[in-house]
Amino acid sequence: MKLATLRKVDNYFPEIRKIDDSISELLELNCPILKIAMKNGKACSLESQMFGALQDADVDSVHKKINGNGACKFIIRKKN
């Protein structure tokens, strides 16, 4: 997945898991923008929007490091 490659280059330490043909899960173990996101949570929603535009998909952020989770987790659903 192109998105995982881009995130790896930027040190997000991504893991991708394909759930089925149209759904994938992106887990980011590191967040280089965590300090910014802690001050302004909008950074997280902008990330989801960017992922959706890049993948032509609907993206839901289901876990966030700013909420105390160990990683950020996104569910990526390809548009039909």
pLDDT of res. 76: 96
- Domain total of the chain: 1
- Within 8 A by CB and 6+ apart from 63, the residues are 69, 71, 72, 73
pLDDT of res. 1: 75
- The parent domain of residue 27 ranges over 2-78
- Within 8 A by CB and 6+ apart from 41, the residues are 66
Q: How confident is the model over 35-59, as pLDDT tens digits?
A: 999 998 788 889 999 999 999 999 9
We report the CATH number of the domain holding residue 53 as 3.30.70
